[in-house]
Structure 1
Amino acid sequence: METTTIEYVTGDSERVLDITDDCTAFVAGRGDGLLHLFVPHATAGLAILETGAGSDADLLSALRELLPADDRWRHRHGSPGHGRSHVMPALVPPYASVPVAAGRLALGTWQSVCLVDLNVDNPRRQVRMDFLAR
């Protein structure tokens, strides 16, 4: 198994950040296997979806509707509605796996690997990437 951890700055607003290029670079030339990704944060997740055509914005809109940034949350430290960020990983999990064939991600034509972060209080996120060779 080969591993790397990459830090991303997501800023002070909700974000869907496409990390596919970093995933592609990590598996390049490694043969067949599996890329497993993990976000070691209680308020971030990983999603595989189309980006650039509105789906990333649609995901954020859907999460805003499902998890409003208001005072209903019992987990109340941080910015208003921060508790919803702690619920989000139940919907957008903190892990994802992608098959790798001949050193290339076996994603569909429009699929991208994305870091999803609703937590505006913590702008720095890490993603651990593990390549498991076949």
Structure 2
Amino acid sequence: MITDLLDIDTSRRLLVDLTEDVRRFCSSQSDGLCSVFVPHATAGLALMETGSGSDDDLVDALQRLLPRDDRYRHRHGSPGHGADHVLPALISPSVTVPVLDGTLLLGTWQSVVLVDLNRDNPRRSVRLSFIAG
């Protein structure tokens, strides 16, 4: 297994497209699987279309599902931070993408996206792992 760790700044964005980073990581590999994992209790990863409004639609939907108010039992951090801890139950902290001859086998409009609504921690680690097939 080959691994790498990305350090991502989410202070200016709630969604960060990681596709090019994942492509670069896999480009020198052969056939196998690329696992992308965010080891944080308040962030997740998604495969989705970006740049066409879908990214804003996802953020809007998550903010409607997980309002930033005092309804949560988990209360440390900024107001509504409990919502951040529910996010990974809805948006998985990992995705796996097949790789063929160093090429990610994503669909035409799919991108690998880090989802981070948590404003208390703008630094995220993302672990990439390649498992040869």
Q: Distance in 1 between matches of 2:97 and 2:105?
A: 7
| TM-score, normalised relative to structure 1 | 0.97
| Residue matched to 1:10 | 10
| TM-score, normalised relative to structure 2 | 0.98
Structure 1 counterpart SS, 2:72: coil
Shift of 1:33: 0.4
| Residue matched to 1:58 | 57
| Residue matched to 1:109 | 108
Are 1:30 and 2:29 matched, yes or no?
A: yes
Shift of 1:14: 5.8
Q: Indicate if the aligned counterparts of 1:33 and 1:100 stay in contact, CA closer than 8 A.
A: yes
Q: Distance in 1 between matches of 2:62 and 2:79?
A: 15
- Structure 2 runs not aligned, ≥5 long: none
- Structure 1 runs not aligned, ≥5 long: none
Q: How many residues align?
A: 133
For residues 54-74 of structure 1, the C-alpha deviation after alignment (integer angstroms, 9 at most, x for no partner) is: 111111011011110011011
Q: Indicate if the aligned counterparts of 1:46 and 1:116 stay in contact, CA closer than 8 A.
A: yes
| Residue matched to 2:20 | 21
For residues 81-133 of structure 1, the C-alpha deviation after alignment (integer angstroms, 9 at most, x for no partner) is: 00000000000010000000110100011100000001000000000000000
Q: Distance in 2 between matches of 1:84 and 1:52?
A: 25
Q: Distance in 1 between matches of 2:89 and 2:100?
A: 29
Q: Distance in 1 between matches of 2:59 and 2:83?
A: 13
**Identity of counterpart residues, as a percentage?**
59
Runs of 4+ residues deviating >4 angstroms: none
Are 1:49 and 2:48 matched, yes or no?
A: yes
Structure 1 counterpart SS, 2:96: strand
Matched residue type, 2:106: L
